[in-house]
Structure 1
């Protein structure tokens, strides 16, 4: 499991957090790591191509070259670290307009066991910010999102499971099983659980299921306002020294556009530890 990993290397934001996590995770598991960096072409320049003309063609070519240079520069930083770590790796660069980039990497990620991405930074305008959402909804597999404030290698010793009994939470649980079986501690977290009606997907049943697989888990049950569920989960993570969170990634379609669910959006904006999400 997780023998074939993909990492997105940002070209407009610091890439060190995601490089350190992806390389260390790959080295620890003896996996293969492919990296992709995307140089973003100006959408306004692309629009002029319809009009044709030698000058416009030259402008388009220049924009493409600049985008390719940005991607090459970012991927070279990754390649240096990968060589030093002596891992098996490959690199790929793409020059594309943002809308195409999101679709391209989301489709590419379908062939990997895990995709590693950097958390969006809403205060910093960047096309890199759109990539995690595209991968979450389009890859069909787990996504490990690294906080942009993260420093150092990946640490999967203390894992927290954000559990609500849903299909997406169950998918994330299965995807994270390699981490759970290797963890030193596991904390199962339920926020606003309806214990009388949870039935077969209660937190207690989850713990019993994990115990049957040789995974000992402690429980945390809390209540929170609906708008602060993600904050409550992150508070538990801090109090319990959790180094990896596992949760379902929620969203819905509106006007042919993917919209993140409230808790997922909150985690995208406020996460403090790496989060494995599955949709």
Structure 2
């Protein structure tokens, strides 16, 4: 698995954390890595075309598209330096689009890959790059590995934590993470506020054991609003290098809105997280 990987290279934010993880993972998995960067066209420039604002509109739109293309090209150039040094099999793609179209395009492309790697959104940096992970999570149909913007160096998946609540989404993320779990030296099932269920954490440990994956359970009892913080505390104390969890959300006016714990993890994650929806 993970033989065909896609990585989104931000065009408006530092890309080194996500490049380092993607390149190292490609080497370790002997995979093919495709990188995509998006240059964002101004919404106001696009609005000029819609409103039919007379002479000069085509020139303004052309210049805006060229600016967006240059931004994407610069981001891909940074990636290519590292990819060539690592001598990996890779491809690149750039395009310019308004933000609404960008999310749809990259999500559709991600459906062709075993996994997509993205950079964690950073609220202190206003950028449309921040919107990409949410689009991919809800619309790609596959696993998304989100790298913290504070990440230093490659992914360390020797100790993997599984955020488990017995739900369909948790099960989906678990299945998508099997290649990581098979190679891990330690696996911890984190069960927060667990209730009696046919899909209990103990049953999960037994299931993993039948696949040759030795796992232990760590149970937590905490307020619902503090679950994300408790999970990250366990990850830090146990020196976990990867968390696995379902990506929760709900629909509002046909838009996907992040659920509470998922939104908190987007905002505050300190280790790479593999999410599936």
Match of 2:167 in 1: 166
Query: Aligned pair 1:212/2:213, yes or no?
Result: no
Query: Deviation of residue 255 (structure 1)?
Result: 1.3
> What corresponds to 1:190 in structure 2?
191
Rounded Cα–Cα distance in structure 1 between residues aligned with 2:107 and 2:225: 29
Q: Secondary structure at the match of 1:224?
A: coil
Following superposition of structure 1 onto structure 2, how do residues 1-279 of structure 1 map, counting pairs within 5 Å? 1-50=1-50, 51-194=52-195, 197-198=196-197, 200-279=198-277
Q: Unaligned 5+ residue runs, structure 2?
A: none
Deviation for aligned residue 1:3: 0.2
Deviation at 1:158, TM superposition (A): 0.8
Give the SS at the match of 1:193: coil
Number of equivalent positions:
276
**Separation of aligned partners in 2, 1:96 and 1:135:** 16
1:75-114 alpha-carbon deviations (Å, 9 max, x no partner): 0000110000000000000100000001100111000000
How far apart, CA to CA, are the structure 2 residues paired with 1:82 and 1:155?
19
Cα deviation code 1:223-267 (max 9, x no counterpart): 111111110000000011000000000001001211000000010
Deviations 1:89-143 (A, max 9, x none): 0000010000000110011100000000000001211100000000000000000
Query: Shift in Å at residue 52 of structure 1?
Result: 4.9
Q: Distance in 1 between matches of 2:264 and 2:154?
A: 24
Kindly provide the CA deviation profile for residues 36-65 of structure 1, in whole angstroms up to 9, marking residues without a partner as x.
000000011001012153311100000000
* Aligned-partner Cα distance in 2 for 1:107–1:46: 22
Distance 2:55 2:161 in 1: 57
Q: Distance in 2 between matches of 1:118 and 1:190?
A: 26
Q: Which runs of 5+ in 1 are unaligned?
A: none
- Secondary structure at 1:252 match in 2: strand
Shift in Å, 1:276: 0.1
| C-alpha distance in structure 2 between counterparts of 1:177 and 1:153, whole Å | 19
